[in-house]
Amino acid sequence: NAGVMQNPRHLVRRRGQEARLRCSPMKGHSHVYWYRQLPEEGLKFMVYLQKENIIDESGMPKERFSAEFPKEGPSILRIQQVVRGDSAAYFCASSPRGGYTFGSGTRLTVV
Amino acid sequence: QQQVKQSPQSLIVQKGGISIINCAYENTAFDYFPWYQQFPGKGPALLIAIRPDVSEKKEGRFTISFNKSAKQFSLHIMDSQPGDSATYFCAASRGDKIIFGKGTRLHILP
């Protein structure tokens, strides 16, 4: 039973490019959460999705960021026109309901 | 607004000692309080969790103490080992969204 799979593990983008981060939840988990982690900061909630629905996006920046969890395939966190301040570790977690299991994260570096 | 406040930011403990990390929360609606452990380059992993109807929960060397009236809870690591060196996050939730503290970087001296 594979855990939460995130890819890529490391992603380097130039300013202005797009970043796509993927998350495959654990088998049987229908809830996906995205968090961002900056050095010396905790995990900041970004968005909570269920299949084909965004349940809570209160932590998402209003511009350039979007997330989806389609009926088939992984959840995608998309960052358009990346800036240096987007450099961070992005973690995805999944759950049947509560009791998160986290992936190993994607470390985004914007150069 | 920081809903979960964690201290200290960093902690150094001798091998065999007791590591204590404290957290305080604001929202009395929270009903689930997990602790996560994170090693460098890894995602956080659930360590132990408690609900507010009990004052203490123990799993091996790890104990959560919970004070509902003070809105505080703490993690105690007994007989701390070098392998316990990691970042620890307290958290709180009601329903599906978990709010995390800023983390404590724990270093156990060999």
Q: How far is B85 from chain A (nearest CA, A)?
A: 16
Tens digits of residue pLDDT in A70-102: 999 999 999 999 999 999 999 999 987 657 899
Which of B94, B98, B105 to probe the A interface (max A CBs under 10 A)?
A: B98
pLDDT tens-digit profile of A19-67?
999 999 998 888 999 999 987 778 999 999 999 999 999 999 999 999 9
Nearest to B101 among A4, A42, A98 (CB): A42
Residue A109's H or E segment, with its range, is strand A106-110
- Name every chain A residue with its beta carbon within 8 A of the beta carbon of B23: none
At A111 the pLDDT is 96
How is residue A111 written in tokens? 């150069």
Half-sphere exposure of A89 (CA within 13 A, CB side): 19
Amino acid found at A95: S
Residues of A in contact with B100 (CB under 8 A): 35, 42-45
Q: How far apart are CA B62 and CA B18, in angstroms?
A: 10
Contact A26, A1 (CB under 8 A): yes
Q: What is the mean pLDDT of each run of 10 residues along chain B (110 residues)?
A: 88 98 94 94 93 94 96 97 97 88 95
Residue among B32, B43, B93 whose CB faces A91 most closely = B43
